Amino acid sequence: MDPDGKRVAIMAAAERLFAEQGYTPTTMADVAKAAGVAVGSVYRLFPDKPSLLAALHKRMEARFVGVMIEGWNKGETYPDKFAPMIVAIFGEAARRREIMPLYAMTKDMAGAADYAPNMLMIETIARLYTDGVDAGAFRQIDPIVQAHVGFAMVEGGLRAWMTDPTTPRLTVVTETLAELFRRTFVK
Amino acid sequence: MDPDGKRVAIMAAAERLFAEQGYTPTTMADVAKAAGVAVGSVYRLFPDKPSLLAALHKRMEARFVGVMIEGWNKGETYPDKFAPMIVAIFGEAARRREIMPLYAMTKDMAGAADYAPNMLMIETIARLYTDGVDAGAFRQIDPIVQAHVGFAMVEGGLRAWMTDPTTPRLTVVTETLAELFRRTFVK
Amino acid sequence: MDPDGKRVAIMAAAERLFAEQGYTPTTMADVAKAAGVAVGSVYRLFPDKPSLLAALHKRMEARFVGVMIEGWNKGETYPDKFAPMIVAIFGEAARRREIMPLYAMTKDMAGAADYAPNMLMIETIARLYTDGVDAGAFRQIDPIVQAHVGFAMVEGGLRAWMTDPTTPRLTVVTETLAELFRRTFVK
Amino acid sequence: MDPDGKRVAIMAAAERLFAEQGYTPTTMADVAKAAGVAVGSVYRLFPDKPSLLAALHKRMEARFVGVMIEGWNKGETYPDKFAPMIVAIFGEAARRREIMPLYAMTKDMAGAADYAPNMLMIETIARLYTDGVDAGAFRQIDPIVQAHVGFAMVEGGLRAWMTDPTTPRLTVVTETLAELFRRTFVK
DNA sequence: AATGAATGAGGCTTCATTCAT
DNA sequence: GATGAATGAAGCCTCATTCAT
């Protein structure tokens, strides 16, 4: 297995186990075994257990930011950017449904005082929104509030969908959410 | 110290320590010491560590539900119920600012698979909203989505406020949030 | 077993195992097992492994200093103090023959940078010697050199005896050593 | 780098690291890195970690024996052989001051039960002394005691000098030590 | 009921050693 | 011969939980 493949395997195993059983209950030995490598190999790639979780968080966030921007750019006019963005985010969430619990796994991370998860997403939302304000498309509200509430609405939508994660529901939830976004932020 | 006072002391200690250092890093001995009781006494009142956290969650949620309903009832007409409700929630959050991190501490609870935190709040929000729909005051949208998104908006607002938890900001954040609620849910 | 008995048992076990197998090769589990207690109990009495060794060092040194002074005081006149002192030290060494290797176990003690073993003995030797100088019985030489060399001579004598630790040899070694001390330090 | 240069580099690195941090805390990877070679190369030259330490001990001892004999031979008459020998030993010790802690690193060597460090020096001392006895220059005392105590006196002198390792002190310590040797062993 | 000493399973992490490249 | 990634056994230590006093 090439070194990159090993890193990939370890992250995949950790992602699955952390999401399934929780961070603390999962042992580094569990991760190594599930990845098909030795414990020592995990430690050569990630200095310790918190770092492994941090790497997963980072990657997950990068993916969400990526699809979010992609979706946003699909919409031609400003109000029409919401729907494709939300669809894109939910698509990613659907694809990675079983690892979504990772999002809740920050506070108990040992020594994570400085790790600010979701910050990249919140900042990205703030930027996209500000562009819309500059373009005269969105109402001018407090940008901090906007970013946090905007992000939270997506989170809430995802949790709503999680109560019944089927395709028909996906349509209902994303459409409702897009409508709420429009009502909330569009002039 | 009477048994009730002991229970109170233990919960207060645990609340503070869990919030400050995280659930896993806090030991039962830490809790006992901070509460001024013996470890055995903690175990006589709470069967195990997860139960202690669950009790804290439950109490915190009950408090939030209480002030939320109280605030809601302060508003005379339906659209005017949002602002006092939000103010009440934020007041409670401000009062208990340092224990808010407890909210993030559910996923990693050992064996907590079946513990659904915030459910009482989400259900209460759903009920209040449904009343408003029945009264013809609110738009009819998917109630699941509504409840989750409504709750998430409050969470997001709280997080926004946490970035600068001062009294002037409190006003800005609550007013903005009330406005977003009105735009989102009022007919 | 009373708490003090537990401490005694742990120290006895550690002393024997460290001396027999070396410090690093001996595990805390070995010590606990040999002492008939749980690992956790060892850790309640000694914060970590180096502390356990340090406690042994301290006790061993205190014992040696005790018998050394006792022996010294047995001698009436100054030159006659050497022989009983040396006999006393060797008596103690004979009694604890199998733990003498502990003396060599300082350098590799993790984080022992500040632990100065034998310092109490060296200082005691310096003091006894200085008294003799003040009384006009001993030659005046550099006290630092005196103390270190005096201590080393005892060490060397002990090692010489260790090559054949029998009672007849004990007599030969202690008498020779006393003679060397007299020649070296007496006016 | 030729194989011999590699051996030299590894020993130099190990010597420095063992002396600085201790034997157990130093890893074979540390040694390899400091020597600028791969771990595997260390293992091609030294079968395992204890062997590496043994090689260092052996070399250090050979050096001391070498300078000791050289110094000894500088003295014309028997009593005058002590001073140059001691000066030579201390010169070597001064040159290699920072690696002197290696001397303390024998007992904890894993599986070193059979390794008797300093034996070459002690035997050499015994031989030189016996020659002096045969030549009628030294008092006849137990040779085992003589050798061990003689060696220990040098050790003690070195430790005394270590408490203030300056050139002026060097003179004081070596002269005092030579005097003690003369008093102790010369007829 | 209260106490806190005792227990020991189990986690994280290290590192000597090997061996495929 | 050289490299250094891989291995996995094993150690230190923690801490939830129990139970004798």
**D141: chain C residues, CB-CB within 8 Å:** 176, 179-180
pLDDT for the residue numbered A112: 46
pLDDT for the residue numbered D78: 87
Mean pLDDT of D29-35: 97
Query: Measured on CA atoms in the order A128, A130, A136, A142, is the torsion positive or negative?
Result: positive
pLDDT for the residue numbered B153: 92
Residue with the bigger pLDDT between A79 and B134: it is B134
| D112 pLDDT more than 60 | no
Taking CA atoms, what residue in A is nearest to B19?
A107
Contacts (Cβ under 8 Å, ≥6 apart) of D77: D137
In angstroms, the CA of B41 and the C1' of F19 are apart by 13
Most confident of B98-102, C109-113, C142-146: C142-146
DSSP B106: S
Mean pLDDT of A88-107: 80
Q: Indicate the range of A91-105, B126-140, C140-154 predicted with least confidence.
A: A91-105
C26 torsion bin: left (phi>0), alpha (psi -120 to 50), beta (else): beta
Q: How confident is the model at residue B96 (pLDDT cuts 50, 70, 90)?
A: confident
Chains D and C, touching by 3 or more CB pairs within 8 angstroms:
yes
Yes or no: say if D67 and D28 are a contact pair by the CB < 8 Å rule.
no
| A129 pLDDT more than 70 | yes
Share of chain A above pLDDT 90, in %: 52
Residue with the bigger pLDDT between A109 and C85: it is C85
Pairwise CA distance, residues A154 & A149, whole Å: 9
Q: Per residue in C156-185, pLDDT tens? A: 998 898 888 888 999 999 999 999 999 998
Pairwise CA distance, residues B117 & B139, whole Å: 27
| B181 pLDDT more than 50 | yes
| C109 pLDDT more than 70 | no
**Nearest alpha-carbon partner for C60 in C20, C16, C26:** C16
| Residue C2 DSSP SS3 | coil
Phi, psi of C70, rounded to the nearest 5 degrees: -60, -45
Bridge partner list, C186: C138
Residue with the bigger pLDDT between D58 and A162: it is D58
pLDDT for the residue numbered D118: 76
| B113 pLDDT more than 50 | no
Mean pLDDT of B77-101: 87
CB contact under 8 A, C108 and D24: yes
pLDDT for the residue numbered B22: 87
Query: Measured on CA atoms in the order A159, A164, A170, A173, is the torsion positive or negative?
Result: negative
Q: How confident is the model at residue D134 (pLDDT cuts 50, 70, 90)?
A: very high
pLDDT for the residue numbered C110: 39
Share of chain B above pLDDT 90, in %: 47
Task: Extract the tokens encoding A11.
Answer: 């992250």
- The overall average pLDDT reported for chain B is 87
Yes or no: say if D57 and D51 are a contact pair by the CB < 8 Å rule.
no
In angstroms, the CA of D18 and the C1' of F12 are apart by 22
Q: Per residue in A106-125, pLDDT tens? A: 555 434 444 566 788 888 98
Q: How confident is the model at residue A34 (pLDDT cuts 50, 70, 90)?
A: very high
DSSP C105: -
Q: How many CA atoms lie within 13 A of B113 on its CB side?
A: 6
pLDDT for the residue numbered A26: 94
Q: How confident is the model at residue D110 (pLDDT cuts 50, 70, 90)?
A: very low
Query: C-alpha distances in angstroms, D13 versus D17, D23, D45?
Result: 6, 12, 14
**Nearest alpha-carbon partner for D55 in D77, D85, D37, D31:** D31
Pairwise CA distance, residues D16 & D101, whole Å: 10
Mean pLDDT of D7-16: 96
Q: How confident is the model at residue B70 (pLDDT cuts 50, 70, 90)?
A: very high
pLDDT for the residue numbered D95: 87
Q: How confident is the model at residue B32 (pLDDT cuts 50, 70, 90)?
A: very high
| C152 pLDDT more than 80 | yes
**Nearest alpha-carbon partner for D57 in D95, D18, D2:** D18
Chain-centroid distance, C-alpha B63: 7
Mean pLDDT of D61-80: 92
Pairwise CA distance, residues D29 & D49, whole Å: 11
pLDDT for the residue numbered B13: 97
**B173: chain A residues, CB-CB within 8 Å:** 142, 145
pLDDT for the residue numbered C44: 96
Of B22, B157, B179, the CB nearest to A108: B22
A28 touches strand E (CB under 7 A): yes
Q: How confident is the model at residue D107 (pLDDT cuts 50, 70, 90)?
A: low
CA angle C131, C132, C133 (to 5 degrees): 90
**Nearest alpha-carbon partner for C105 in C15, C9, C45:** C15
Which amino acid is present at D17? L
Residue with the bigger pLDDT between C8 and C3: it is C8
| Residue B75 DSSP SS3 | coil
Q: Per residue in A1-17, pLDDT tens? A: 676 889 999 999 999 99
Q: Per residue in C14-62, pLDDT tens? A: 999 998 888 899 999 999 999 999 999 999 999 999 999 999 999 999 9
In angstroms, the CA of A118 and the C1' of F18 are apart by 42
Q: Which nucleotides of E are covered by protein (CB under 7 A)?
A: 1-20
Q: Which residue is nearest to nucleotide F4 (CA to C1')?
A: D38
Mean pLDDT of D122-150: 90
Pairwise CA distance, residues C82 & C185, whole Å: 10
Q: Which nucleotides of F are covered by protein (CB under 7 A)?
A: 1-20
Taking CA atoms, what residue in A is nearest to B106?
A104
Q: How confident is the model at residue C104 (pLDDT cuts 50, 70, 90)?
A: low
pLDDT for the residue numbered A115: 56
Of A101, A173, A183, the CB nearest to B107: A101
